[in-house]
Amino acid sequence: MTGRGDWWYDEAAGPVVRPYAMVRGRTRPVTAELHLVTQVRAMPSASDPESLTVEHLEIMELCRRPLSVAEVAAYLDVPLVVVKVLLSDLIQRGDVVIRDPARIAEIPDRNLLQAVLDGVRGI
Amino acid sequence: MASVESERPGGELLVPTPVKIVIAGGFGTGKTTMVKSVSEIAPLHTEELLTEASVGVDDLAGVEGKTTTTVALDFGRITISPEIVLYLFGTPGQGRFWFMWDELAQGAIGAVVLVDTRRLDSSFPSIDFFERRDIPFIVAVNCFDDAHNYAVDEVRGALDLDKSIPVVLCDVRDRESSKTVLVGIIEHAMSRLDAMA
């Protein structure tokens, strides 16, 4: 079916704006590695909002409550790699604070596990 | 709208410690259903680009000519407390997405390998993955309505599992049943920690 109004850029075609246009062609975050579950929280106000892009500002708005990198990517509906680049800009500016998983290469400690266990039992 | 829990004394912003549990298993074993039944939010969906993650290009010169594959990730969230948040990640398809499994498994409390008794072999690669990396995991037999009712010992035997690996029966559509599975993997991770101490 190729009738009039049958646009090629339907939902399945993905966003019309190429993801990398948002990050000016950059594919690598400049700061330390961000993990899927790294928590991001925006500072109460951005240091210089005029110099931020719409996407940066959206992240600042989303992260008024702490969210993981993966959640930010899901809510913005952009690939993880793009979100990591945008977040690294905000980290460098000091506009967001982050917390990495407890110990990235190790399993969490016993007290943390006990707290998670109690929490899951309580939901 | 700052809540009372949003700041530590001294005005420092409170940022929770994230933890995660991986939900693995073959295609159609109920991974997303399990995430959905216990997550406090509707499962979220995000994508990683395969060329970025696997090759690690520094600029986009010639990227148009390359085939870009996306790896889809579905995940849920359980806020344990203002200080701790638990994420549940369903694993993407097996095979060429192993690099993504590595990232998911890194630092995880452990993994749940879901098994469908009608297609036991579809979960073999998941079991292999966690066994080889010595990551704590339990096997959860998802009891579909029309599935044969197998005894836990039969499944253990068929999967050739070490006797230290817990096997539980569950119905992942049921929230309480899924909770029991999560409790199972956390307890297993704790007992392994105790055994090492």
The CATH architecture to which A15-122 belongs is Orthogonal Bundle (1.10)
CB A123 within 8 A of CB B179: yes
pLDDT digits (tens, 9 = 90+) for B18-27: 999 999 998 8
Q: Which superfamily is assigned to B18-46+74-196 in CATH?
A: P-loop containing nucleotide triphosphate hydrolases (3.40.50.300)
Domain ranges of chain A: 15-122
> Three-state SS string across chain A, please?
CCCCCCCCCCHHHCCCCCHHHCCCCCCCCCCCCCCCCCEEEECCCCCCHHHCCHHHHHHHHHCCCCEEHHHHHHHHCCCHHHHHHHHHHHHHHCCEEEECCCCCCCCCCHHHHHHHHHHHHHC
Closest B-chain CA to A29: B58
- The reply to whether residue A123 touches residue B179, judged by beta carbons under 8 angstroms, is yes
Mean pLDDT of A53-75: 96
Residue B75 burial by CB count (10 A; 0-12/13-18/19+): exposed, middle or buried? buried
Residue B134 has pLDDT above 70, yes or no: yes
Q: What pLDDT is stored for residue A29 in this prediction?
A: 60
pLDDT digits (tens, 9 = 90+) for B165-194: 999 999 999 999 999 999 999 999 999 988
Q: Is the ipTM beyond the 0.90 threshold? A: no
Domain ranges of chain B: 18-46+74-196
Residue A86 or B67, more confident: A86
CB contacts, 8 Å: A120 with chain B: 78, 80, 86, 179, 182-183, 186
Backbone angles phi, psi at A79, to 5 degrees: -60, 150
**pLDDT band at residue B54 under the 50/70/90 scheme:** very low
Helix (H) or strand (E) holding B185, with range, is helix B175-196
**pLDDT band at residue A1 under the 50/70/90 scheme:** very low
Of A59-63, A101-105, B102-106, B133-137, minimum mean pLDDT range: A101-105
pTM to 2 decimal places: 0.84
Of A8-17, A19-28, B9-18, B39-48, minimum mean pLDDT range: A8-17
CB contacts, 8 Å: A66 with chain B: 14-16, 85
Q: What pLDDT is stored for residue A4 in this prediction?
A: 47
